[in-house]
Structures are given as structure tokens and as C-alpha cells.
């Protein structure tokens, strides 16, 4: 195998251990060849990758192992008494509503169908013994739904907002072929609803100095996706809005932090 460039674990550890020596050696003399410059770039690149990997391991432990070990899951209630979940009657939203109720939070459910809302909120109250309320709202209708939501929300101690409601086309499609109505529907549900809900709850959270906003986005937000053009783009916007708002709020209160959480299977970003 000699000369084939195949590294064993010992070679790898040796290579990593020699990084500081290589680095200080490289720094101490003038570079005469491209090879030396490339070696230094390579060292920095490996260090950057290692740092990222270690940070990823740290985040993983902090998110999934520490709460389990310290039984810290109850800390969710410290955010506030109520959690709002949009699109709470099916799929990921319903799971969020149930999980938050399991941790003792009262749930405010928002979606279109009164029958489904009634059924899910009754089931949550019966199973977890928490309070529930619901608002019938069709986010695709635009601006009209928010005054009612604001009226209800202003009277509650909202600790967590889960921006979950979101639409995709019936099947992947070229952007120009997506019907105009569908374009507006997707913009209203995926962008406007998430942005407006954050806009409604944030002042209360900032005043109380606690709160969390969870944005359920998609892996498609990581890059432009041609056959999902609009859907993928809508999933980026809310991350930018909350990041910028969160950074600003953090700069003045230090109580609201921004975190990103990437979960596989069904994927989320979390602020």
C-alpha cells in the first residue's frame, strides 16, 4: 500500500499532532515556493474544518444529551405560559403542539378548519391537562387575519411561537408555470404569516425578556432549487428576518439569543 496515499488512523493522528510544529515552522521563514504557501493554506483549512466539527459535536451534546441528562426539559415553561403553533392540526405542527403540551405549556392553535382545531385542542387538553385555545385563520387571505390574532395574543403570556404553517406546490414545477393564485398563496402562507406572527409576538417577548421563535423551514432553504424555486426561497426569508431582528434584540437586551438547529427527516431551522 506504500505510496498509494492511503492513510491509517495513526497517520491521521500524527498529521494532526504535527500541525502546530508545521504552523510555527511555516511562520518563521520567508516562503520561496508555492508549495509552502499551499501547505499553510491547507493547515488553516484543516484547522477550520476541525473547529467546525468540534463545534458541531458540542452543539449536538448541548441540544440532545445535556437536557436529557439534567432532566432540563421542564425549562421550556420558563419561556412563558403559552405556545402558539400555526398549522397545528396536522403533520409537524400537530406534533409540535403535542410535544409542547407534554412539557406543560398551554397551546394556542391556528389553522383553517374549525372541526380539526376543535378535535386537536380537545385531545390535547384531555391528554396533557393543559389549557388550549384556537383561532380559525386562513393565512392565504393576506392581511385580514392578523388583527384578530393580535387581539388574542396581546392578552396571553406567549413564550414560544412555532411558525409551522407552510405550503408547497402539488408537484415540483418550473417557476413560470406555477399558477398566479398559487404564487400568492405560497407568499402569504410561507412568508407573510411567519413574518407577521413574529412581528406580533416579539414586542411582548422583548418586554418580558424571554421567548423563543421556532421557524419550521426546509432543507431546500440551503441553496436555490430550480423546480421548487418559490418554495425554497420562501424558506430562506424568515431565517433572515428573525436573524436580523434577533441580532438587534440581543444587542440591546442580551436575553434573546439566536440558534440554528438542523434536524434531518423533516427539517427545521430554529431561532
Ligand X SMILES: NC(=O)c1ccc[n+]([C@@H]2O[C@H](COP(=O)([O-])OP(=O)(O)OC[C@H]3O[C@@H](n4cnc5c(N)ncnc54)[C@H](OP(=O)(O)O)[C@@H]3O)[C@@H](O)[C@H]2O)c1
Q: Which residues carry out catalysis?
A: 231
Taking the complex as a whole, how short is the minimal distance between the CB of residue 59 and ligand X, in angstroms?
21
Q: Using CB under 6 A, which of the segments 43-51, 63-71, 159-167, 255-263 binds ligand X? A: 159-167
Q: Which residues ranging from 114 to 153 are in contact with ligand X (CB under 6 A)?
A: 116, 137-140
Q: Using CB under 6 A, which of the segments 52-60, 97-105, 112-120, 244-252 binds ligand X? A: 112-120
The Cα 215–Cα 231 span in angstroms is 15
The single residue among 76, 80, 84, 93 that binds ligand X, judged by CB under 6 A, is 93
The single residue among 82, 89, 212, 214 that binds ligand X, judged by CB under 6 A, is 89
**What is the residue whose three cell numbers read 398566479?**
180
Nearer to ligand X, 106 or 217 (CB): 217
**What is the residue whose three cell numbers read 414586542?**
203
| 182 scored as a contact of ligand X (CB under 6 A) | no
The DSSP-derived string for 47-97 is HHHHHHHHHHHHHHIIIIIHHHHTTGGGGGGGG-SEEEEESTTSHHHHHHH
In angstroms, what CA-CA distances link 171 with 57, 160, 177, 178?
36, 32, 11, 10
Q: Using CB under 6 A, which of the segments 47-55, 56-64, 89-97, 249-257 binds ligand X? A: 89-97
Helices (H), 112-157: 114-128, 146-154
Nearer to ligand X, 67 or 91 (CB): 91
Phi-psi region of 124 (alpha: psi -120 to 50; beta: other; left: phi over 0): alpha
Taking the complex as a whole, how short is the minimal distance between the CB of residue 137 and ligand X, in angstroms?
6
Q: Using CB under 6 A, which of the segments 17-25, 33-41, 46-54, 105-113 binds ligand X? A: 105-113
The Cα 243–Cα 85 span in angstroms is 20
Q: Answer yes or no: are the C-beta atoms of 108 and 82 closer than 8 Å.
A: yes
Size of the site for ligand X (CB under 6 A): 23
The residues of the shown chain that bind ligand X, judged by CB under 6 A, are 87-93, 111-113, 116, 137-140, 164-166, 189, 216, 218, 266-267
Amino acid at each position: 500500500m506504500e505510496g498509494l496515499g492511503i492513510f491509517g488512523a495513526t497517520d491521521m493522528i500524527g498529521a494532526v499532532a504535527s500541525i502546530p510544529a508545521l504552523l510555527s515552522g511555516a511562520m518563521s521563514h520567508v516562503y520561496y515556493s508555492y508549495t509552502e504557501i499551499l501547505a499553510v493554506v491547507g493547515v488553516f483549512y484543516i484547522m477550520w474544518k476541525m473547529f467546525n466539527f468540534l463545534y458541531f459535536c458540542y452543539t449536538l451534546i448541548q441540544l440532545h444529551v445535556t437536557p436529557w441528562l439534567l432532566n432540563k426539559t421542564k425549562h421550556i415553561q420558563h419561556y412563558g405560559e403559552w405556545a402558539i403553533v400555526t398549522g397545528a392540526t396536522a403533520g409537524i405542527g400537530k406534533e409540535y403542539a403535542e410535544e409542547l403540551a407534554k412539557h406543560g405549556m398551554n397551546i394556542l392553535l391556528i389553522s383553517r378548519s374549525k372541526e380539526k382545531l376543535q378535535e386537536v385542542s380537545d385531545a390535547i387538553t384531555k391528554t396533557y391537562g393543559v389549557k388550549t385555545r384556537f383561532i380559525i385563520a386562513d393565512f392565504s387571505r393576506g392581511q385580514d387575519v392578523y388583527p384578530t390574532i393580535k387581539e388574542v395574543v396581546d392578552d396571553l403570556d406567549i413564550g414560544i411561537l412555532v411558525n409551522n404553517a407552510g405550503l408547497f406546490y402539488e408537484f415540483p414545477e418550473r417557476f413560470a408555470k406555477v399558477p398566479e393564485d398559487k404564487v400568492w398563496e405560497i407568499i402569504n402562507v410561507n412568508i407573510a404569516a411567519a413574518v407577521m406572527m413574529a412581528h406580533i409576538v416579539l414586542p411582548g417577548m422583548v418586554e418580558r425578556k424571554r421567548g423563543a421563535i421556532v421557524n419550521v423551514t426546509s432543507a431546500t432553504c440551503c441553496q436555490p432549487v430550480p423546480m421548487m424555486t418559490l418554495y425554497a426561497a420562501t424558506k430562506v426569508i424568515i431565517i433572515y428576518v428573525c436573524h436580523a431582528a434577533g441580532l438587534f434584540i440581543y444587542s440591546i437586551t442580551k436575553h434573546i439569543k439566536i440558534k440554528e438547529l438542523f434536524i434531518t427527516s423533516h427539517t427545521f431551522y430554529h431561532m
